[in-house]
C-alpha cells in the first residue's frame, strides 16, 4: 500500500487487474496506484522492505516485480525490475530498464506487474477477501478497483469497485478511528462483508448495533515514531431467522491490522488479550484460539448477542522505523473501548456483580414506593415526589416505582464503571452522633450467631 | 448504683405508632435524598450489632442481683452493594414497609402472621419464620424502637396460675387460682399487660420451665399449700411472659422469684434469659431482666433421682454449656452447677422426681422454699 500521510488526505486510486493467460497458465497481476493525479510516484524503498515470502510462496512466484513509476514533475517513466526472492534487502537486485518518455504529458502513477502460476479463482478469492478486510479500515481517500479478465475469452472483463463506506461517506478529514468505527459497522451490518448491503433481517433499525472505541498511543522519541493503537468493539443483536445467523455468538474473531495491513496476531498480543479483566464487563473468556485467525471464546454469553472487535496498530509517521512492541497499548485501548461502550450504552457489559445487585432493584423500588404511597402524610409524600422529580399529576404506583428503580439502577451502573479497587462507601441511612463513639465494625451479622434460637 | 454504663446503652424506645411511622418516613426521605443528590448512592443500613462481641453487662455495684445485659454502640451494616448479602438488605425494607402499613391500619400482628403476610407479598425474599424474626430485630436495631412499637404483638404462650388476682381494663377480676390447670393466658398485647391491675397474697413467684410440670402443680393446687404464683413461658421465654414477670417484680418487689428447670444446660439458659435478657432480643434485652434464683433441679437434688432417669448430655447441650460458661454474667454458684453438669456428662428432667409419687413435687418445692434452698 502506498504511504498514508495523516496530515494531507490525498486522494488515491488503485486499480488491480488480474488477467489469466491460458497459453502459459499464468495469472498476471497489474497493480496501478495513483496518488491524486497530480502527485508523486512511488518510493522504491517501499519495495525493498517487502517481505515477499509472506506474500506468495516460492512455488507460485519467481519473486520478480516489474515497476514503472513517474511523478508529476518527471519527464519520463522509470522502469525497474526488482528481484525480491533474495531475503536480505541489500542483496536484492534492482535492475534499471530503459525509461519511456512522457512527451510533455502531465501525469503520475506507479504500475507494478507480477506473474503468478496460481489458479485465477483462488487468486481472485484471496484478493477479494483481502479487500473485504481492508474495507474495515474504511480509509476515505482510497478508491480500489478490481478487474478480472480471461485473455482468451472476449468480454470476460469483470469490474468490482471497492469504495470506502459507499453508503455513508464521511468527510476526508475524519480521523482514522472514526473511519475504523464506520468500517467495522459496515462489516458487521453486512455480516463480515459477505453481503453487498446491510442485512435487513437483522438490522432493520440501526439501533441493533452498539459501538465503542478506544485509543492508546505511545510517545515519540528520536529512535522511533509514535505508535497508535485503535480499538473498536461492536455488540450487535442478531435475528435467529437470518440465514447468516452464525451460532458462534459465543465467539469473537479479533481482526488485527498493523500499519493499515491486515495481519495475524502475535503470540504476545494474544497473551495481553487474555489478561484483560473481562469479568468486570460481565464477560467470561473461556479460551483464546489462535489458528491463523484469533478467536476469543466466551462462556455464558446471551445467545443473540455478537461481539466484533478490531485492533489497528500503526506508526504515526512514515517512514516507519524499528517497530516498537505494542503490547502495552493493547490493554489500554481495548479497556478504553469497552468502557466507552459501557458509558454510551447504559445497561450493557454489566459485571456479574452488578447484574446480581440489579436483580434486587425492582423489589427495593417497590418497597420504597409502597412506603411513600401508603403514607397519610401529604407533606411527606410531597417531599418524596419533589426529590424524585415527579409532578403530582404523574402519580401512579407504577410511575413512582419505575422512577425509583431507574435511579437505583443508574447508581449501580455508575459504581460498576468505577475501577474495581476503589471501595464504594455508601452513606448510612441515619447519621447520628452515636457513630463518633462507636467502634465501627464493617461486618455482616452472621446468621446463626444467636446464643439461642429465638422462636417467639 | 450504676456508673457510666448508661452512656453506652443503645435503647429501643417504646413509641406510639405515629412516632414510629415518622421514623420510617425519615428513613425513606434520607434514602431518597442520598439517591437523588449530586453524588448519588444507595445508602447502607446501619444496625446495632447483635453479636456477643457487642454485649455489655451492667453489674449492680452492691449486689449481684441487679445485673442485666444490653447492647452497646457497635454497628454492623446491611448493604445492597454486597451481592451475597443484598437480600438481607431488601428484607429490612420489606418488613419496614409491612409494619408501616400495619401501624396505619392501627392493627397488631404476631410474628407468625407477619411471616405469612410477607410470604404472600414477597415470596422471593422470605423463606422462614426465623428469617422474619431476625429481620424484625434488624428493624428494631435500625429504628431504635421496640418490636411492640412496630405493631408486632408477642405471641401469647405464657400462662399464670396461683395466688394472683388480675383485672384487665374494663373487665372482671380473674382469680388465677380458679383457672384450673390451663391457667390464665398471658396476652401478647404489651399495652394490655401494662394496664393489668394485679393483687396478690403470695410470698414467692415460681417460674416453671415446662408446661407439663406447670399443669401438674396447678392441678394439685400446690398454691393452696404454699403461697406462690406459678408462671411459665412453656419453654423459651417470650417477651410477653418476661414483660409480665418484670411487672410483677416491680409491683411486688418483696416477692423473691425462683426458677424450676430441668437439670441441663438448656434449663439454666432459660433461667439466665429471664434473669439477664438475651442478645437475641436485641435492643430490648435489657428491659425485662429480673432477679431470678435457681430453686431446682440442682446438684444437691440428684440423690433424689434414680440412676435410670439420667441421660447423657447431647452435643447441643454441650454447646449451650460452653456459651453459658463464656458469659461473664454467670454467677459463681451457677457456674459451679454448670461445671458439675458437664463433668458428669448427664442430665435429668424434673419429671424424674415423680419416682417418689406424683405429689412429691409439691412437697419438694415446699421443703426447698422453707429451707431457703435457692441460689
What pLDDT shows up at residue A4? 42
Inter-residue contact A230 to A326 (CB < 8 Å): no
Q: For residue B142, which residues of chain A lie inside 8 Å, CB to CB?
A: 429-430
What pLDDT shows up at residue A451? 38
Q: Does B110 touch chain A (CB under 8 A)?
A: no
Look at A277 and A159; give whichever has higher pLDDT.
A277
How sure is the predictor about B10, in pLDDT bands with cuts at 50, 70 and 90? low
**How many residues are given for chain A?**
456
pLDDT at A424 over 80: no
pLDDT digits (tens, 9 = 90+) for B60-95: 666 556 666 667 677 777 888 887 888 899 999 999
pLDDT digits (tens, 9 = 90+) for B133-175: 889 988 988 888 888 899 998 777 899 999 999 999 889 999 9
Inter-residue contact B188 to B151 (CB < 8 Å): no
How sure is the predictor about A32, in pLDDT bands with cuts at 50, 70 and 90? confident
d(CA A24, CA B164): 125
Residue that has been written with the C-alpha cell 497493480 in this structure: A31
User: Hey, how many other C-beta atoms are within 10 angstroms of the C-beta on A223?
Assistant: 8
d(CA B287, CA B69): 9
pLDDT at A437 over 50: no
Buried b (16+ CB within 10 A) or exposed e, A338-371: bbbbbeeeeebbbbebbeebbebbbbbbbbbbbb
What pLDDT shows up at residue A166? 55
What pLDDT shows up at residue A175? 78
Inter-chain touch A364–B125, beta carbons under 8 Å: no
d(CA A440, CA A452): 25
CA atoms within 13 A on the CB side of A227: 23
Strand blocks (E) in chain B: 45-48, 55-58, 68-71, 75-78, 109-110, 152-153, 159-162, 164-167, 173-175, 184-185, 197-200, 204-208, 228-232, 257-260, 292-296, 311-312, 346-347
Q: Does B49 touch chain A (CB under 8 A)?
A: yes
Write the ipTM: 0.72
State the smallest CA–CA distance between residue A222 and chain B in angstroms.
Answer: 45
User: Hey, how many other C-beta atoms are within 10 angstroms of the C-beta on A106?
Assistant: 9
Q: For residue A377, which residues of chain B lie inside 8 Å, CB to CB?
A: 21, 25
Side-by-side strand order, sheet with A158-163: A93-101, A76-83, A64-70, A109-116, A26-35, A12-21, A142-150, A158-163
Query: Would you call B116 a catalytic residue per the annotation?
Result: yes
d(CA A266, CA A326): 10
CA-based R_g, chain A, Å: 30
Compare all CA atoms of chain A with the CA of B28 and give the residue at the minimum distance: A368
pLDDT at A452 over 50: no
- Which one, of A145, A190, A148, lies nearest residue A167 by Cα? A190
d(CA B307, CA B302): 9
Q: For residue A447, which residues of chain B lie inside 8 Å, CB to CB?
A: 134
Whole-prediction pTM:
0.68
d(CA A298, CA B79): 31
pLDDT at A373 over 60: yes
Segment A401-408 mean pLDDT: 93
What pLDDT shows up at residue B69? 65
The SS3 of residue B164 is strand
pLDDT at A238 over 90: no
Inter-chain touch A428–B46, beta carbons under 8 Å: yes
Q: Is A103 left (phi over 0), alpha (psi -120 to 50) or beta?
A: left
Q: Which of B28, B79, B281 sits opposite A368 (nearest CB)?
A: B28
Amino acid at each position: 500500500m502506498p504511504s498514508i500521510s495523516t496530515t494531507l488526505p490525498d486522494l488515491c486510486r488503485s486499480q488491480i487487474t488480474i488477467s489469466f493467460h491460458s497459453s502459459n497458465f499464468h495469472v498476471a497481476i497489474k497493480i496501478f496506484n495513483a496518488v491524486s493525479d497530480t502527485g508523486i510516484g512511488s518510493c522504491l524503498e517501499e519495495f525493498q522492505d517487502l517481505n515477499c515470502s509472506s506474500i506468495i510462496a516460492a512455488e507460485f512466484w519467481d519473486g520478480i516485480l516489474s515497476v514503472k513509476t513517474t511523478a508529476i514533475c518527471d519527464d519520463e517513466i522509470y522502469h525497474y525490475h526488482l528481484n525480491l526472492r533474495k531475503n536480505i534487502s541489500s542483496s536484492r537486485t534492482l535492475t534499471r530498464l530503459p525509461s519511456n518518455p512522457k512527451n510533455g504529458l502531465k501525469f503520475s502513477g506507479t504500475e507494478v506487474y507480477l506473474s503468478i502460476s496460481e489458479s485465477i479463482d483462488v487468486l481472485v478469492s484471496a484478493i477479494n477477501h483481502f479487500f473485504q478486510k481492508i474495507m474495515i479500515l474504511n480509509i476515505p481517500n482510497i478508491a480500489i478497483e478490481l478487474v478480472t479478465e480471461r485473455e482468451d475469452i472476449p468480454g470476460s472483463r469483470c469490474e468490482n469497485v471497492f469504495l470506502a463506506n459507499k453508503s455513508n461517506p464521511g468527510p476526508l478529514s475524519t480521523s482514522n478511528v472514526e473511519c475504523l468505527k464506520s468500517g467495522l459497522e459496515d462489516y458487521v451490518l453486512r455480516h463480515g462483508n459477505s453481503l453487498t448491503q446491510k442485512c435487513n433481517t437483522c438490522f432493520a433499525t440501526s439501533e441493533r448495533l452498539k459501538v465503542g472505541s478506544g485509543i492508546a498511543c505511545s510517545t515519540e522519541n528520536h529512535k522511533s515514531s509514535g505508535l497508535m493503537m485503535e480499538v473498536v468493539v461492536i455488540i450487535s443483536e442478531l435475528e435467529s431467522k437470518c440465514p447468516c445467523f452464525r451460532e458462534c455468538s459465543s465467539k469473537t474473531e479479533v481482526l488485527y491490522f498493523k500499519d493499515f495491513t491486515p495481519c495475524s496476531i502475535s503470540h504476545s498480543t494474544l497473551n495481553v488479550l487474555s489478561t484483560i479483566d473481562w469479568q468486570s464487563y460481565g464477560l467470561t473468556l473461556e479460551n483464546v484460539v489462535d489458528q491463523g485467525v484469533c478467536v476469543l471464546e466466551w462462556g455464558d454469553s446471551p445467545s443473540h448477542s455478537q461481539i466484533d472487535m478490531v485492533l489497528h496498530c500503526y506508526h504515526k509517521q512514515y517512514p516507519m522505523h524499528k517497530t516498537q512492541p505494542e503490547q502495552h497499548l493493547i490493554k489500554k485501548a481495548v479497556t478504553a473501548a469497552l468502557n466507552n461502550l459501557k458509558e454510551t450504552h447504559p445497561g450493557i457489559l454489566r459485571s456479574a456483580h452488578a447484574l446480581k445487585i440489579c436483580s434486587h432493584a425492582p423489589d427495593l423500588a417497590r418497597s420504597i414506593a409502597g412506603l411513600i404511597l401508603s403514607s397519610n402524610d401529604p407533606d411527606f409524600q410531597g417531599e418524596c415526589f419533589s426529590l424524585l422529580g415527579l409532578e403530582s399529576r404523574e402519580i401512579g404506583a407504577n410511575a413512582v416505582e419505575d422512577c425509583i428503580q431507574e435511579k437505583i439502577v443508574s447508581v449501580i451502573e455508575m459504581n460498576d464503571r468505577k475501577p474495581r479497587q476503589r471501595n464504594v462507601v455508601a452513606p448510612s441511612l441515619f447519621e447520628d452522633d452515636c457513630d463518633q463513639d462507636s467502634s465501627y465494625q464493617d461486618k455482616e451479622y452472621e446468621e446463626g450467631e444467636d446464643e439461642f434460637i429465638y422462636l417467639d | 448504683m450504676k456508673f457510666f454504663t448508661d452512656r453506652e446503652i443503645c435503647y429501643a424506645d417504646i413509641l406510639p405508632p405515629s412516632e414510629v411511622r415518622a421514623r420510617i418516613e425519615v428513613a425513606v426521605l434520607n434514602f431518597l435524598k442520598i439517591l437523588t443528590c449530586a453524588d448519588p448512592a444507595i445508602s447502607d443500613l446501619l444496625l446495632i450489632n447483635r453479636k456477643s462481641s457487642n454485649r455489655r453487662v451492667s453489674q449492680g455495684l452492691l449486689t449481684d442481683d441487679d445485673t442485666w445485659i444490653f447492647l452497646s454502640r457497635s454497628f454492623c451494616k446491611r448493604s445492597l452493594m454486597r451481592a451475597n448479602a443484598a437480600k438481607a438488605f431488601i428484607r429490612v425494607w420489606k418488613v419496614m414497609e409491612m409494619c408501616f402499613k400495619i401501624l396505619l391500619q392501627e392493627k397488631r400482628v404476631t410474628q407468625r402472621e407477619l411471616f405469612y403476610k410477607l410470604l404472600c407479598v414477597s415470596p422471593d425474599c422470605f423463606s422462614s419464620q426465623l428469617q422474619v424474626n431476625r429481620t424484625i430485630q434488624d428493624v428494631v436495631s435500625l429504628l431504635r424502637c421496640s418490636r411492640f412499637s412496630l405493631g408486632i404483638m408477642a405471641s401469647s404462650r405464657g400462662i399464670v396460675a396461683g395466688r394472683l388476682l388480675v383485672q384487665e381494663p374494663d373487665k372482671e377480676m380473674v382469680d388465677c387460682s380458679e383457672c384450673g390447670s390451663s391457667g390464665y393466658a398471658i396476652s401478647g398485647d404489651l399495652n394490655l399487660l401494662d394496664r393489668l391491675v394485679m393483687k396478690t397474697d403470695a410470698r414467692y413467684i415460681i417460674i416453671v420451665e415446662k408446661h407439663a410440670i406447670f399443669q401438674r402443680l396447678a392441678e394439685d393446687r400446690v398454691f393452696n399449700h404454699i403461697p406462690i404464683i406459678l408462671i411459665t413461658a412453656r419453654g423459651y421465654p417470650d417477651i410477653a411472659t418476661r414483660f409480665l414477670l418484670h411487672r410483677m417484680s416491680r409491683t411486688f418487689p418483696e416477692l423473691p422469684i425462683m426458677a424450676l428447670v430441668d437439670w441441663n444446660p438448656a434449663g439454666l439458659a432459660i433461667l439466665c434469659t429471664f434473669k439477664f435478657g438475651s442478645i437475641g432480643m436485641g435492643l430490648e434485652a435489657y428491659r425485662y431482666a429480673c432477679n431470678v434464683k435457681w430453686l431446682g433441679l440442682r446438684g444437691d437434688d440428684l440423690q433424689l433421682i434414680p440412676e435410670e432417669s439420667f441421660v447423657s448430655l447431647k452435643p447441643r447441650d454441650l454447646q449451650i454449656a460452653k456459651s453459658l460458661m463464656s458469659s461473664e454474667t454467670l454467677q459463681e454458684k451457677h457456674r459451679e452447677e454448670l461445671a458439675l453438669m458437664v463433668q458428669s456428662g448427664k442430665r435429668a428432667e424434673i419429671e424424674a422426681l415423680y419416682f417418689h409419687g406424683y405429689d412429691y413435687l409439691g412437697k419438694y418445692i415446699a421443703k426447698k422454699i422453707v429451707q431457703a434452698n435457692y441460689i
